[in-house]
C-alpha cells in the first residue's frame, strides 16, 4: 500500500517549490572576450549551486564600455582591465565599492603550428612570418599589452606592416587558428587549460615586458537590486570559481 501525502503537506511542498523558483533570477553579464571559456565553466557551477541563471555577452572591454554607456542592460561587468570598471564607477554607472580584481591575465605568443613558436619568442626577431595577429590595442587590454611587448623588444617598427588587428582577443585568436596569421598575441587562457597547452606552440611572455593585466569586476547600477548579480560577484570571489579561473592559467 502506497504512502499518501496529506494535502496540507503537499500544499506546503508546492509552496516551497514555487518560492524557490521565485527567488531564482537571471543576471546579465558583460564579459571580456578572453574570459569566455572560464566564464562558461563558472556559469554552469554557479547556476547549479545558486539556482540563478547567467546570461553573458562577450566582447572587447572597450566595446563593452561603450555599450554600457549607451544604456545596454548589463548588470555586471567582468572587464579585461582595471581602468574600464574604474571609469564606470566614477561616472556613476557602477555601484561604489563593488569593484574587485577577479583574475590577473597572462599574454602568450601562440601559433596553431607545432614547433613554430620557440620557448623564448625568438621567432619574432627572426621575422620570417607574413602576419602577426593582435587585438585592437584601443579596445582590448591584451592588444595594448602586445604593443607594449613589441616596444620593449624594439620590434614595433620592424613588424608594424605585418600586424593584423582583431576587434577583440577572440578575433585575434581566430586569425591564428584559421591560418590567416602564422602567429599572434592572445590570452593564455584561450590556449591553456588544466596546466598545459591545448595545441600548437607558444611562448608565455615574461610579465616584465608588459603592464599587469588586472581584470576587475563591477556591479553596475542596473544590477544593484538584483540578488543574482550580487550572488555572482560573491561566487567569483569564492574557492570554486578560483579553482576554475586558475585552471585556465590566470593568477588571483
Q: What is the CATH number of the domain that holds 203?
A: 3.40.190.10
Q: Are residues 41 and 82 part of one domain?
A: yes
In a domain, 41, yes or no: yes
Domain that holds residue 132: 106-209
Share of the chain above pLDDT 70, in %: 91
Question: Do 194 and 217 sit in the same domain of this protein?
Answer: no
d(CA 171, CA 159): 19
Within this chain, do residues 69 and 146 fall inside the same structural domain, yes or no? no
- Do 112 and 172 lie in one domain? The reply is yes
Rounded-to-integer distance, Cα 74 and Cα 217, Å: 12
Give the separation between CA 252 and CA 223, rounded to whole angstroms: 25
**Does residue 121 fall inside a structural domain?**
yes
Residue 19 is assigned to a structural domain of this protein? no
The per-residue pLDDT for range 66-92, each reduced to its tens digit, is 999 999 999 999 999 999 999 999 999
Q: In percent, how much of the chain has pLDDT > 90?
A: 88
Residue 13 lies in a domain: no
Given a cut of 80, whether residue 176 has pLDDT beyond it is yes
Looking at the structure, tell me whether residues 169 and 203 fall in a common domain: yes
Q: Do 58 and 136 reside in the same domain of the chain?
A: no
d(CA 13, CA 201): 56
Nearest CA to 232 among 104, 102, 103?
102
Same domain, 138 and 199: yes
Query: 3-state DSSP call for residue 64?
Result: helix
Please indicate, yes or no, whether residues 138 and 229 belong to a single structural domain of this protein: no
Number of domains in the chain: 2
Q: 8 pLDDT exceeds 70? A: no
Amino acid at each position: 500500500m502506497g504512502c499518501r501525502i496529506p494535502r496540507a503537506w503537499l500544499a506546503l511542498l508546492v509552496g516551497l517549490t514555487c518560492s524557490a523558483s521565485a527567488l531564482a533570477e537571471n543576471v546579465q553579464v558583460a564579459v571580456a572576450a578572453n574570459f569566455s571559456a572560464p566564464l562558461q565553466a563558472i556559469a554552469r557551477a554557479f547556476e547549479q549551486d545558486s539556482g540563478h541563471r547567467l546570461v553573458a555577452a562577450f566582447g572587447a572591454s572597450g566595446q563593452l564600455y561603450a555599450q554600457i554607456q549607451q544604456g545596454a542592460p548589463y548588470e555586471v561587468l567582468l572587464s579585461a582591465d582595471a581602468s574600464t570598471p574604474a571609469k564606470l564607477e566614477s561616472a556613476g554607472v557602477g555601484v561604489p565599492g563593488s569593484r574587485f580584481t577577479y583574475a590577473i591575465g597572462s599574454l602568450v605568443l601562440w601559433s596553431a603550428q607545432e614547433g613554430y613558436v620557440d620557448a623564448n619568442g625568438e621567432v619574432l626577431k627572426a621575422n620570417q612570418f607574413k602576419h602577426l595577429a593582435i587585438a585592437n590595442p584601443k579596445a582590448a587590454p591584451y592588444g595594448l599589452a602586445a604593443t607594449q611587448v613589441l616596444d620593449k623588444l624594439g620590434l614595433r617598427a620592424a613588424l608594424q606592416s605585418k600586424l593584423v588587428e582583431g576587434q577583440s582577443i577572440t578575433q585575434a585568436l581566430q586569425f591564428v587558428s584559421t591560418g590567416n596569421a602564422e602567429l599572434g598575441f592572445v590570452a593564455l587562457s584561450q590556449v591553456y587549460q588544466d596546466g598545459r597547452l591545448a595545441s600548437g606552440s607558444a611562448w608565455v611572455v615574461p610579465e616584465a615586458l608588459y603592464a599587469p593585466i588586472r581584470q576587475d569586476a563591477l556591479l553596475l547600477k542596473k544590477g544593484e537590486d538584483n540578488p543574482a548579480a550580487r550572488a555572482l560577484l560573491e561566487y567569483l570571489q569564492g574557492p570554486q570559481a578560483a579553482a576554475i579561473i586558475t585552471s585556465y592559467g590566470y593568477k588571483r
